[in-house]
Chain A
């Protein structure tokens, strides 16, 4: 072993260690931010390690430097700009987009190696090694393409650019996807036989498969899909590691792949959905349309903002249940103003966070943190559920399925068994909502029919602004 090899080995080892510590640290609130920086540092370290290795051995040609600099500057610049500009409400889409690009990168590396075999590695390839090489290239392309197109579809659906076509809810989609899967298998074996041109077939059908698998999935399941695709991009990176013979790539890719799977499983548990039903069951709304879950509302009480303010003024304990509607209306800061007023009046305010409120676990925490809500006021579902009977007022802001009592009472409901917030136990429930439309699952919410529930119709931000005005008139929190 010569010096550059030893140096690279030490740096790689250090980078793996730091990356592992980074992922570990990201799972604790206190250390998370430092851990993220540590991981970023480990990534830069790994680049330095790789470049110094080549400088010390084969050297890096000037044209290589030029293309490295061009690629780095453009990629980093766009990434940094997007990361700074994007609003907090569209985090899930942003993660999906970044993720798709990671998959694209692995795909391109494998494609490059496949079309133009790197000179010095091809000469001394025996049969076994070239087989492994081809398998890892195929896997990298297959997984990379699915990650890319799947993530882009997921992003487009979350942004509302793409809806769910009706044919994707029928059995036809299984046939279509099986055709794509079989076609990729054929392309794979053709590639093994040495027919290099079938690599394009592999690229095309695996891209189509990524679209075909993601398109039928309903919006509520999207976070699970993004998390799964995140896991795939790790697998694609590990496969690319086999292509270019890099242990660091394999370890880091495998870590992300495994961690992504765990996270996906955690999210599925939160929604009481199995991964299989998310992937192959189609969107919930299509199922519920035919099931007994739908129905007419019979006993809706609607009330004005003024009444809501009066009730709030008289309360001792208020629980806020935020949901996706709050994120869409960008009302987190307005909400914070309302709760500040209530707190100044001596009213106890707590936020009940359902594990899958919003479009992503942790989505609400991020939004509320942005609005300076103290971390201690955010309570998780299991902690807050026993508190509802002793609560005077619950404000449901743009949440729907996570407060549906059907999940507890109605065994025929598609939601049955999903853990929910027991808001109906509180004395009064105000649901602030734009209209009577169903939640993402498309299921009727029995909560709205209960006698202690009042609906306040309107955009969350507008209602909260009006609420601030009403509270001011009542002299709440004016000090």
Chain B
């Protein structure tokens, strides 16, 4: 992949991001922030790549593994916590205790 085409990818990705969040009701700002935050844990793919390419290099394997741990903490926690918040919105007022 040439550097220039990667720059194009960066540019188009940014534009897509700007477009996607045009109008959001304030209600959803916290869940949206939290959901977007979980997606930023996509850096776990970089950590995976690092581990796979590390070969026999033990320090690199460990760095990659710690990095993967941090990223997955972000991803799994982020999605769960967003789901918890959103579950409250969808709950019908009729299901009272």
Contacts and interface: CB of A to CB of B under 8 A. Distances in A.
Chains A and B are bound partners? yes
Interface of A: 19-20, 22-24, 26-29, 32-33, 35-37, 39-40, 43, 46-47, 50-51, 54, 58, 60-61, 63-64, 67-68, 70-72, 74-76, 78-80, 82-84, 86, 88, 91-92, 94-95, 98-99, 101-102, 104-106, 108-109, 111-113, 115-116, 118-121, 128-129, 132, 226-227, 230, 233-234, 236-238, 240-263, 266-267, 270, 353, 355, 360-363, 365-366, 369-370, 372-375, 378, 380
A259 B21 contact: yes
B45 A246 contact: yes
A250 B3 CA distance: 12
A36 B50 CA distance: 27
12 contacts: A23-B20, A35-B35, A43-B42, A67-B65, A68-B51, A83-B77, A99-B74, A102-B41, A230-B36, A251-B12, A353-B27, A372-B93
Given A37-B79, A64-B54, A242-B6, 16 more contacts: A28-B28, A29-B27, A36-B79, A68-B68, A71-B64, A71-B72, A75-B76, A98-B37, A102-B43, A111-B63, A230-B36, A241-B6, A256-B40, A360-B30, A362-B29, A365-B30
Given A71-B65, A105-B47, A257-B17, A91 B38 contact: no
Contacts of B48: 47, 50-51, 68
Contacts of A116: 54, 57, 59-60
A42 B76 CA distance: 13
B69 A80 contact: no
A36 B26 contact: no
A60 to B, nearest CB: 5
Nearest to B61: A67
Given A254-B10, A373-B93, A71 B67 contact: yes
A362 B43 contact: no
A401 B23 CA distance: 25
Given A19-B39, A33-B87, A109-B47, A39 B79 contact: yes
B39 to A, nearest CB: 5
A68 B49 CA distance: 10
A372 B96 contact: yes
Given A75-B69, A236-B43, A256-B17, A112 B33 contact: no
Contact of A247 (B6, B15, B46): B6
Nearest to B96: A372
A475 B28 CA distance: 38
B4 to A, nearest CB: 10
A365 B91 CA distance: 13
Contact of A120 (B13, B53, B70, B74): B53
Interface in B52-97: 52-57, 59-91, 93, 95-96
B56 A63 contact: yes
Given A47-B44, A230-B33, A248-B42, A369 B91 contact: yes
Contacts of A50: 45, 48-49
A101 B74 contact: yes
Contact of B30 (A74, A366, A373): A366
Nearest to A121: B53
Contacts of A86: 81
Contacts of B70: 75, 101-102, 104-105, 108
B76 A234 contact: no
A20 B51 contact: no
A68 B47 CA distance: 9
Nearest to A232: B40
A255 B20 contact: yes
B43 A106 contact: yes
B73 to A, nearest CB: 4
A363 B96 CA distance: 22
B28 A362 contact: yes
Most A C-beta atoms less than 10 A away, residue of B20, B64, B96: B20
A191 B32 CA distance: 37
A49 to B, nearest CB: 9
A250 B28 contact: no
A28 B36 CA distance: 14
B46 A36 contact: no
B9 A250 contact: yes
Contacts of B25: 27, 29, 380
